[in-house]
Amino acid sequence: GRVCEGGAAMPKKGHEERTRPVTEQILVDAARIYDAREDEDTESKDLKTYAAFLSKEDAFTKHLPQDLLERARNMRPPRDRITCLLIGNHSAGKSSFTNWYVGEKIQNESVAIETAGITIVRRGKGRVTWKGPQTINAFPYLETLGGMEGVTDFLATEFSTSTEKNFPLVEFVDTPGLTDGTLKYPFDVDAAIMELAEHATMIMVFLDPIGKALVSRCMNVVEKLAVSHSAKMSYYLTKFDTAGDEVDRTNVVSQIVQELQGRVRATHALKLHTMFLPERATDEVRKMLPNKIGELCQNISREIDSRVQDVLDGLSKDCSCLSKIVDAKVARNKKCVTHNTFSVVWKVLISLLSVCVIAALAYWTMLNHADLDPLKLCDSEGQKVVVVEQADGSKIQEIKDNATNSNIYCLGLKAGGGVPCGVGLVCALVWLMYLWVTKTKPTEQLSTEDVKKLREIQAHINETIIKKHKALKKRLTEDALDDQL
């Protein structure tokens, strides 16, 4: 197979079936956990679908912790490759490096600067070229870029079937060469590069030793990028084999390093790596000059390994996030169901008490203001014959009226002219109305279908997705350790 300068053996280029490396398998499998890509008529069982369901607006969503809610709303399938953003002055060798890494001529290496645009180079099933609209539609992270005036017409994606080096796991973004002068670009190149940098895994700054590396426009862009993306950036002095004799090379390196140090506030020691394409140099030059192109390949490999670990770590956190949301919704729904059950009980109880109070108030009104006593609570019990013995021993009969009924009900209704009882009944009625308002108001609860869906999500995450995650971590560990014990 081909050997990347630096000693790592690389697979041969070709269209034949190949065995995917473990890192690529893990990235693809992890992406499928987020997006199962089922048929449209079939409900997908993946994290993307679950996140959309759990973060949809309802009465429960506003009570969720904001950090969980934001993570669910922003949950996207992880990209199955790293993105390398190539920037630099015109003719710095960005396209040449891309072609060398891919092992195929994808980019024109001496393209006229007036027609240069942004080109994404990645592996695909065939040698295909996409224009701007299709590129933006296929890659959601380019949505903001597509909204910039003029970018879409100068954006393209080139697909290659190459399996050279780590190309299946790498996406190169080749940007227009930056130059001074009166040239007007068809879009805001600086703003486009700043937007692309937000999504890049690595930012490679290619500088040309033949007097063009220090063009102010290129250095200004580098300075802006370094403010927010210094950790992603690495600097390469390309075409080092054309930089003249040893004195000239030393002067060029010193001059560029000095310029970079004056503009870039790096968090680590700033390094300018010298490199050239080995196929274009003589054997003598390859032996004599330091070439860091192999180190660049190794840096890409390390970023891929780091990407795999980040994806698995993110998968674990996303599963935990969705599980916590399910738990929170189920717990709140239980409280709502309990509240609504007690609400029904309160309705029945308050209704019965209200009927009693209203009936008592009506009877109080009839008794005290209409002299009506339908239940005979306070009426006299008619007349009765009483035998009275006289002093001489004779007996006579007398007819007397019975005393007015003085039972507790009558005393309560008529005591004090009936005023205390009336006030008490009115207060009781007002209190019952207050209880009705505060105790019987139902709260929104989840439907039976939603509760069932939540339990299905929780079960699928715990029983399937977490097991897949553990299996992926085990594969990564076994591939790294290669233990045969």
Question: What is residue 206's three-state secondary structure?
Answer: strand
Average pLDDT over residues 237-261: 84
Confidence (pLDDT) at 218: 86
In the prediction, which pLDDT does 239 show? 87
The whole-angstrom distance between residue 149's C-alpha and the CA centroid of its chain comes to 28
Using pLDDT thresholds of 50, 70 and 90, give the confidence band for residue 3. very low
Q: pLDDT class for 329, splitting at 50, 70, 90?
A: very high
Instruction: Please give the average per-residue pLDDT across 397-418, as a whole number.
Output: 69
Does this model's pTM top 0.75? My answer is no
Residue 247 has pLDDT above 80, yes or no: yes
The answer to whether residue 174 scores a pLDDT higher than 50 is: yes
pLDDT at 236: 92
- 429 vs 270 pLDDT, higher one: 429
Q: Which of 105-119, 176-190, 302-316 has the lowest mean pLDDT?
A: 105-119
Look over the chain and give the mean of its residue pLDDT values, rounded to a whole number: 84
- pLDDT band at 5, cuts 50/70/90? very low
460 vs 397, residue with greater confidence: 460
Q: To the nearest 10°, the Cα dihedral for 475, 481, 484, 485?
A: -100
Cβ atoms 189, 73 nearer than 8 A: no
Task: Report the C-alpha gap between 481 and 475 in whole angstroms.
Answer: 10
**Ordered alpha helix ranges (H), 152-245:** 189-199, 216-229
The residue among 109, 110, 92 whose CA lies nearest residue 238 is 92
pLDDT value, residue 13 = 43
Residue 479, C-beta contacts closer than 8 angstroms, at least 6 positions apart:
22, 23
Give me the mean pLDDT over the 342-367 stretch. 92
Is the confidence at residue 114, as pLDDT, over 70? no
Q: Is the pLDDT of residue 143 over 50?
A: yes
pLDDT on residue 6: 41
- Judge contact between 400 and 384, C-beta under 8 A: yes
